[in-house]
Amino acid sequence: MAKKNGLEVAGNLAHLAKALYDIIKAFMQGGWAAAALQALKHYWPQILVIALVLTLLPIIIFCCLPMMLFGYESSTDTEISAMTVQAESVSGYYDNYESYIDEWVENIKSTVIDGEGQDTETDGTTTETEDTETVEYEVVFTGSKIQKNWFIALHAVTVENDLNAASEADVKAFSQKCVSYTTRPAVQNTESETESSETTDDGETTTKMILDIYYRTPTEIMADAGFTDSDENWARLIHKTLEMENNSSVGVLGTLFSDSSWRDGITSEYGYRTSPEPGFHYGIDIGKPMGTEICATKDGTVTSAVKGTTGYGYYIILDHGEGIQTMYAHCSELLVDVGDEVAKGDVIAKVGSTGNSTGPHCYFEVRINGEQVDPAPYLP
């Protein structure tokens, strides 16, 4: 066996020497391209394996993420069984995330309004000081609660996908990052409104204040939590995986163009990019000839039909209900107006290059509850 191993080693060394000689010779005669061809000739099996691994890596991640996040269905291994139990507990915490957010909102209201803890969204609540000064608060809510899948994705990144670190207390603490608040004096805007401060006949002063409670978007939460670019990419990948796993929204939209091969024209995907400018790209770019008809991807109402000269240029936003909106930008011509009802497949605009654009294309964006998401899971 030792003699055989020695022969194998000698053969490998001879092959390596011959390959290096051929590659260097090719480089001297034809440059890098020729050298690359020689390398491929000598090592194509290894290169093929590496290419297959890189190609299948997203699929492997997609298949493993749910298991990593929520455990294994069954196993005789004690450690894995314990992970499954923990995963079920964490899943229960995630199911209650909205109640944790509501609990934090009530805590904010109670703290700001001196422990009164009453619902001030409609009727307002007053507090009194020793100097007979009364402060009356009106609570104003802005935005909507973060989606469950976004909550799970962001929290998973903060605990580095460690289920043991995802206790109920930790999930509750993270829910607090989903809400921010400020206070400000009430401002008199019209003659019919009351003053921000009033004094009654008995000398008691009432000061009117507004408590603004704002539900943060996933992007704002990531910024507040100090996510790096890799953290943000990982969170978006988890979110995309959860969306696809649930099958709640995959394929709910139709095609943008009558030509079924439109996907071949995608020039820029959703996510971070370096060209034409470095930054996060919140939609997809689809290159098409000038004037190509753009179709509505779902029944909806036109909420925006803007003829801008910068940014998105000429663009349309459709509201499809259930928190789903789509945008079609850089158009050359808009064929609908605000308030119009459109059906899936209706022609609403034509491809152009208006605004900040380097050539004829349609920029397509999907927004769920106001948050821009990867359009890919929603398209056929």
Digit-coded pLDDT (tens) for 30-42: 666 666 666 666 5
Q: What is the pLDDT of residue 123?
A: 41
Instruction: Give me the mean pLDDT over the 282-305 stretch.
Output: 95
HSE (side-chain half, CA atoms, 13 Å) at 23: 13
Q: List the single range of 45-49, 203-207, 304-308, 356-360 with lowest mean pLDDT.
A: 45-49
Mean pLDDT score, 6-16 = 54
Per-domain residue ranges of the chain: 1-70, 94-246, 262-378
Q: How confident is the model at residue 230 (pLDDT cuts 50, 70, 90)?
A: confident
Tell me which of 135 and 108 has the higher pLDDT. 108
Residue 272 has pLDDT above 80, yes or no: no
Mean pLDDT along residues 104-128: 64
Rounded average pLDDT over 294-323: 94
79 pLDDT above the threshold of 50: yes
**pLDDT at residue 348 above 80?**
yes
Residue 67 clears pLDDT 60, i.e. is over it: no
* pLDDT tens string 214-227: 999 888 899 888 99
Q: What pLDDT shows up at residue 373?
A: 84
Residue 166 is predicted with a pLDDT of 82
| Per-residue confidence band for 319, with pLDDT thresholds at 50, 70 and 90 | very high
Q: Identify the CATH number of the domain defined by range 262-378.
A: 2.70.70.10
